[in-house]
Amino acid sequence: MNMPPRKLLQIEKLVLHFKTSHGVVQAVDSVNFELDTNRAVVILGESGCGKSSLAKAMLRLLPRNVDKYGGSVYLNGEDVMMYDEDEFRRNVRWVGMSLVPQAAMNSLNPVIRVGDQVAEPAMVHLGIRKTEAMTLVRRMFQHVGVPEDFISRYPFELSGGMRQRVALAMALVTSPSLILLDEPTSALDLLTQANIMNVLKRIKHELGTSFILITHDIATSSELADEVAVMYAGQIVEVGHAKDFFPAPLHPYAQMLMASVPRLRSESDPMFITGQPPSLIDLPEGCRFAARCPFRFEKCNEEPPMLGKNGRKVKCWLYE
Amino acid sequence: MITETREAFMDQVKVNEPEALLTIQGLHVWYELRRFGFGHAGYVKAVDGVSFELAEGETVAVVGESGCGKSSLMKTILGLNIPTSGDVLFDGDSLSGLKGDGLRNYRFKIGYVQQDPYGALPPFMTVQKILEEPLIISGVKDKEQRMARIHKVMGEVKMHPAEDFLPKFPHMLSGGQQQRVVIARAMLREPKLIVADEPVSMLDASVRVEILKLMRALQEAHGLSVIYITHDLSTVKYFSRRIFVMYAGTLIEKAETRRVLENPLHPYTTALLAATSDPDARNADTFKEVPPGEPPSLVNPPKGCRFHPRCAKAIAGLCDEKEPVEFEPESDHFVACWLYRS
């Protein structure tokens, strides 16, 4: 049905629903987007909008209470959703795309030296020896800016920023073409955040890696973004190039979210969005943002399609 | 006769000077490190010589990175830490002289807004219990009086009708509502001073501004003094009249917010401002300038200026030798940096 896509990554109708005692949580609901080589897409959204679930769905890191999981994820033209568990582990995780999980700096094993921890995925997934892996680790440490002698240290001997870099080195060591970063800077200090964003930019230039950056921090996300996808209540509501999106978002939610960011270099008075996002268990008919939207009209009772406008896409009836 | 005139004179002086609600004088908060549970192994100098005054109704932001001592400073002001030396004078009381009931009464006069609202609210208590308990402890015996006060603060934090929220447990509330309950709890005892420790950093972007505006409205309505502790410079100007920048246990720059944002003097403040992004697609094309290294250990801070190992403008032989004193290059703009020696 589809021509083999030329893109690095193409996601079509990705769905991930969870079963809970209160009902079905529609965390990821028919998400589509694509990404070229050496590009970075930012998935922007507030807590509970399903952005972390999207990362889990892409890497098939599923909890036990999955209700529905489907759609297509094309990585280098191959639908990896068709792979069985074993193929997926060997060909996709780490080698195809790797994940830097939320609070990665606290997910390091406290009793293993950081060099050994970073070497492990390389030994397992690339099938190389320890000595070769350590050479690779040293090279990765250079890329992410960790001093080489830290290789034999334990995580507790490193600062938060350094541990975050180590987690990044671990994701890089198998040289995947795509790295998913889930809130990579949210627990870090201002200067450390700026440092990590610099490291990510450098890696993108030097290694040609693509990134999917999942975050709620709009200001920091603009440091890396080539493209932006805004997520609301399990759906992507707007996709566009960063250069178009940041000056003038299209979707009312994106506009209001942008207006809520306090800015250092402008006198604008930040606004806030009244109300709360809908529960993912009990979603409204039609547009999911309608209840909070100042521009709603009769048509919003029907679910809007993804509408194209000058190379941008927006899920809102206003742009019909 | 002489004493009388002198007293009259002193009264005069008091009238002319703006009343300081909170005065911090040469405050040091050191934590002792012990080796094997006994035996002295040095001190963590979390707050090392901090002085400032806060007038009634004034808002100030303390800006610094984690580990710079801002939480220790805050806890000392709240009466939870004992100063190693120096003193905190609040509303006529000296913290060092207080014990028992006196210390308890001191704590009642200061409201505390915690960083993580979910962690700050006991999960097994309803909102009503959470708000009632401080009143019971502070001796409001009459239930009706307590409920009246609770309804009043719930209205002030815009959680109405209060009846809808009072029987709820914290996990049933959204992050923004939880933070409102925390603010309501801080307001219960009609404090003169509120200490807010990163009150919005755990909240979503769309709610952040709402909470900041709420706190601002409360501050204006009650003439509260507020100490706003944060690392996010972009929110400061909406909230605070003055900024204190803290680095490694000391305040390195003190001035009005606008002055600091427009004309930062200390190299560390400049670096903080440069590292703060606004949402702008052009950010992706450039690298940020970040000073190398990391904040120093507070056990053994560098000799001289504590920022000198990371500072591009450090003067050899001076910055690495002598601790900088406070200069005032423009009026009411204080900076502890040798670059401004005259």
A246 close contact with B: CB closer than 8 A: yes
- pLDDT, tens digit, 9 for 90 and up, residues A57-68: 999 999 899 999
Q: What is the DSSP letter of B215?
A: H
* Residue B244, C-beta contacts closer than 8 angstroms, at least 6 positions apart: B52, B60, B61, B62, B63, B251, B253, B254
Q: B234 falls in which pLDDT band (50, 70, 90)?
A: confident
Average pLDDT score, chain B:
88
B118, B177, B206, B268: best to mutate for the A interface, most A CBs within 10 A: B206
B280 CB neighbours in chain A (<8 A) are 222, 246
Token output for B83 = 């100063």
Selecting from A190, A269, A272 the residue whose C-beta is nearest the C-beta of B275 gives A190
Average pLDDT score, chain A:
90
Beta strands B333-335 and A227-232 are: unpaired
B210 close contact with A: CB closer than 8 A: yes
Q: What's the CA gap between A176 and A183, in Å, rounded?
A: 19
Class assignment of domain A9-96+176-319? alpha beta
Please give the C-alpha separations between residue B2 and each of A263, B5, B8, B15, B16, in angstroms, as whole numbers.
58, 5, 10, 20, 21
Flag whether pLDDT at A3 surpasses 50: yes
Selecting from B174, B204, B210 the residue whose C-beta is nearest the C-beta of A216 gives B204
Q: B11 falls in which pLDDT band (50, 70, 90)?
A: low
- Counting residues of chain A whose pLDDT is more than 90, the rounded percentage is 71
Flag whether pLDDT at B20 surpasses 50: yes
Decide if A49 contacts A74 (C-beta within 8 A): no
- pLDDT, tens digit, 9 for 90 and up, residues B295-321: 888 888 899 999 999 999 999 899 999
A272, A273, A276, A312: best to mutate for the B interface, most B CBs within 10 A: A272
The answer to whether the Cβ–Cβ distance between A270 and B238 falls below 8 Å is: yes
Domain map of chain A by residue range? 9-96+176-319
B267: closest CA among B310, B316, B222?
B310
Domains and CATH numbers, chain B: 17-109+189-340 (3.40.50.300), 117-188 (no CATH)
pTM: 0.87
Q: B15 falls in which pLDDT band (50, 70, 90)?
A: very low
Phi first, then psi, for residue B334 (nearest 5°) are: -100, 140
Rounded average pLDDT over A279-294: 91
Looking at residue B104, its pLDDT comes to: 87
Token output for A297 = 């009209």
Q: Which residues 253-312 of A have a C-beta within 8 angstroms of B?
A: 256-258, 260-266, 269-273, 276
Flag whether pLDDT at B8 surpasses 70: no
The answer to whether the Cβ–Cβ distance between B213 and A272 falls below 8 Å is: yes
Please give, rounded to a whole number of angstroms, the shortest distance from the CA of B140 to a CA of chain A.
35
Flag whether pLDDT at A205 surpasses 80: yes
Flag whether pLDDT at B5 surpasses 70: no
Flag whether pLDDT at A122 surpasses 80: yes
Q: Which residues 147-206 of A have a C-beta within 8 angstroms of B?
A: 159-161, 189-195, 197-198, 201-202
B172 close contact with A: CB closer than 8 A: no
B332 close contact with A: CB closer than 8 A: no
Decide if B55 contacts B62 (C-beta within 8 A): no
Q: A87 falls in which pLDDT band (50, 70, 90)?
A: very high
Rounded average pLDDT over B201-213: 86
Alpha helices (runs of H) in A208-240, residue ranges in sequence order: 218-221
Task: Provide the 3-class DSSP secondary structure of residue B202.
Answer: coil
Flag whether pLDDT at A4 surpasses 70: no
Q: What's the CA gap between B117 and B137, in Å, rounded?
A: 21
B236, B277, B280, B285: best to mutate for the A interface, most A CBs within 10 A: B277
Looking at residue B63, its pLDDT comes to: 93
Q: With the C-alpha atoms ordered A147, A153, A154, A159, is the resulting torsion angle positive or negative? A: negative
Looking at residue B294, its pLDDT comes to: 84
Flag whether pLDDT at B82 surpasses 50: yes
Flag whether pLDDT at B81 surpasses 90: no
Q: Quick one: A38 exposed, middle or buried, by C-beta within 10 A (0-12, 13-18, 19+)? A: middle
Q: Which has the higher per-residue pLDDT, B2 or A227?
A: A227
Looking at residue B221, its pLDDT comes to: 94
Selecting from A40, A190, A273 the residue whose C-beta is nearest the C-beta of B65 gives A190
- pLDDT, tens digit, 9 for 90 and up, residues B155-193: 999 988 889 999 999 999 988 899 999 999 999 989 999
